[in-house]
Structure 1
Amino acid sequence: MIKIFIYHEEECNRKKCTSLRLGRKGFAKIVKTMNQIPRGAIVLNPLSKKALSREDKQRIIRHGLAAIDCSWKNVRKSSEIFKVGRYHRALPFLVAANPIAYGRPFVLSTAEAIASTLYIIGLKDMAKEIMSNFKWGPHFLQLNKELLDAYSKAKTSKEVVKIQKEVMEGIKNG
């Protein structure tokens, strides 16, 4: 089982928080300080210059996966948190299916981000199990299935970025 850690900034509606639900269900450990995230863990960081890819799988299995749950409105303010560590990865283009940000690209809930990570590194069943905890969860995987499958076939971060660029150009050109 992959160790999943979530640093929770307490900036959300606790009743709707996907991180807290994952913590209650035993899928993740909610931590109060960044020091509680194991050294060497992959940290999901929307500001990272390197994209997540299959090449991160062994590090995630060995050291764990960490997400930082903070408001998208305050993500720039929270950017100091993201500067710690060198194993930070950004997720590629995906579209949210959660009720708060439905249809918005890149604005994923923490659960969507974690499930996307697991899917991309080849742990699709675990991604499905995590998303089954939310009414809209299976729809997220279906909505992004083509993208997730393409990203999961890419071997490196550069290949993921290339796929994302092609997707973005396709959207731009309509």
Structure 2
Amino acid sequence: MELHVRYEGDDDPEKCTARKLARFDLATLHRSDRATPYGIVLNPHAERALSPADAETVESDALIALDCSWESASEARFALPGEHRALPYLVAANPVNFGRPLRLTTVEALAAALVILGDRPHAEEILSKFTWGETFLELNEEPLGRYAACENSTAVVAVQQEYLDR
């Protein structure tokens, strides 16, 4: 699956995981909505959760994340063309938001989506560029495995609810 990032450039360039992925030719950065390809758009405001079924039902081989500051990640920023899906409950491993639920970096979001969509080796490859990358998979081993085993979005939401109820 091709990785694409709608890049806003409003974060610290030294901590920007999307820029690092691009430096290693692991993702393509796009500066405009129009330049961003159609695909599965990771959107925390989406009505449907990402599930393994999306790998077969979306007619695109592109996975798209929006890289912007958490302070400016409003719903309006996600006006990208594509099939919008929300990631389920996961915990960040990055140094800035370690242990905080749902505060993932761009690489964490892309890696989580790849695991859920059935491509764990690709997730491991992109996370290998970060000292804390393996920690993300370790922290989220159980939920990622459970989400990846779900049949559809409804099942992912049901599993997620178990984590939220804890």
Q: TM-score, normalization: structure 2?
A: 0.95
The C-alpha deviation readout for 1:63-111, integer Å capped at 9, x for no partner, is 30110001111112xx223134351000000000000111100000000
Measured at CA, do residues 100 and 61 of structure 1 come closer, stay the same or move farther in structure 2, by a change above 3 Å?
farther
Aligned counterparts of 2:31 and 2:25: Cα–Cα separation in 1: 17
Partner of 1:35: 34
Q: Distance between the aligned counterparts of 1:9 and 1:15, measured in 2? A: 15
Q: Which residue of 2 aligns with 1:150?
A: 146
Report the equivalent of 1:133.
Answer: 129
Match of 1:101 in 2: 97
Q: Distance in 2 between matches of 1:128 and 1:97?
A: 14
Residues 127, 60 of structure 1: alpha-carbon distance in 2 compared, 3 angstrom cutoff: farther
CA–CA separation in structure 1 for the residues paired with 2:58 and 2:135: 25
Alignment correspondent of 1:63: 61
Partner residue, 2:5? 6
Q: Return the offset for 1:54.
A: 0.3
* Runs of 4+ deviating beyond 4 Å: none
Q: Tell me which residue corresponds to 1:73.
A: 71
- Number of aligned residues: 166
Question: What amino acid is aligned across from residue 73 of structure 1 in structure 2?
Answer: E
Q: CA RMSD in A?
A: 1.4
Does 2:59 correspond to 1:46? no
Secondary structure in 2 aligned to 1:116?
Answer: helix
Which amino acid in the other structure matches residue 115 of structure 1? Answer: A
**1:164 paired residue number:** 160
AA in 2 matched with 1:42? I
Contact preservation (8 Å) 2:43, 2:85: yes
Higher helix share: 1
DSSP 3-state at the match of 2:129:
coil
Whole-angstrom distance in 2 between the partners of 1:26 and 1:148: 25
**Distance in 1, Cα, partners of 2:50 & 2:35:** 22
Letter in structure 1 aligned against 2:40 = I
**1:21 corresponds to which residue?**
20
Runs of 5+ unmatched residues, structure 2: none
Whichever residue aligns with residue 77 of structure 2, its letter is I
Q: Give the SS at the match of 1:112.
A: helix
Worse-matched range after superposition: 4-13 or 107-116: 4-13
Question: Within 2, Cα distance between the matches of 1:122 and 1:133?
Answer: 20
Paired residue secondary structure (1:43):
strand
Unaligned runs of 5+ in 1: none
The alignment partner of 1:57 has SS state of helix
C-alpha deviation, 1:35, in angstroms: 1.1
Identity value in percent: 39
